[in-house]
Structure 1
Amino acid sequence: MAKATLAPNPKVDWDEWAGDYATVRDAIEATYPELFKDFNARMFTPGGFWKGNDAAHRQWKTESGKAEFNLPAGLNAAGFDDAEGRYRLMTLRSNDQFNTTIYGYHDRFRGIKGTREVVLMNEGDMAKAKLAEGDTVSLIGDSGDNSQRRVDGLRVVRYDIPAGCLGAYYPECNVLIPLAHHALESHVPAGKSVPVRLEKAR
């Protein structure tokens, strides 16, 4: 897929990598020698290998030799302000999910069975919105960029979640995340704080 998608690069022999994954591990070791020393040799050690955790040993690789913390530019790092009727959607994985691969429809962590088409909601927010458990709602993107983003057919589930927040599964709700809504430096989609509104099904 990478070979077909990316422009040719003389430093990367996609065919060699595809033919022998050990060459990929060699490249990873060359890039991160401290973390992946002897990667191929250690790869098949029973139980895998531990990459270590410097922080657990109070080893800080900083100029000061101490732990350092960075402050956000503002108290509201979400990139949008609170507003009447606006919620912060947290997209979630179920216990039987690996990234976007879904293995089943029972989330034992949250007691949800047989479906992923749910929205978790604070009990006080449900009362304010005149919603009952089991009601069907739509989530509508509220990023102010004039794009139409919507997910219909979600069942309300009362859940111990902070007021003003909602929870729903990804990738089902990824469509609600604007392309520009991401972490400033890494550009990872900000799927834990998505501005949405809620509409009860008619």
Structure 2
Amino acid sequence: MWYVIQIMTGKEEMMREMITRNLPSKMYEDCFYIRRERIWRLNGEKVCHVETMFPGYLFVTTEDPEALYWKLREIPGLTKLLRTEESQFLSVSPEEQDFLEDLIDKDEEKIVRLSEVTLDEEKKILSAKGPLRKYVKQIVKKKIRLCYVMIEKELFGQKRKILIGIRTGKMKQKQDKV
């Protein structure tokens, strides 16, 4: 089962390394944070880069979250970064885990890749390949020119808007039957 550790935003890689260095590997299967591809415009060109998808969150797979929690408290600096004892270690529901696993590329990097979308002439999304393929109907905001859409999903105990990077395929033309 996945569990969420809240940490200081921007310290995801540093804390992941600290955990993997300081904790026995038998206490957990995996420790990671999820990243996503985004497209930015830089000097008139589109550039793909990778950023943290959920800043301030690490995910840990473990069978014994309580033992892991007490071991985490021994890591210098980490105890200050966790919330109160009631909410320091959030479990990811099976539905949330399925959703996140569906978004993540199947490699070890835990990256949500760009989704390729097909648009009509009004820039309505007709179809999508990649992480967005199952969630087109859940789009609550789209910025085609800025190469992203947002879907709304219940995650970690609250409703969240989740940004997914897109790239556009060729626009489909409407064909009138004569």
Q: Same fold (TM over 0.5)?
A: no
Give the structure-2-normalised TM-score. Answer: 0.24
In our comparison, the structure showing a higher alpha carbon Rg is: 1
Q: Which of the pair is proportionally richer in strand?
A: 2
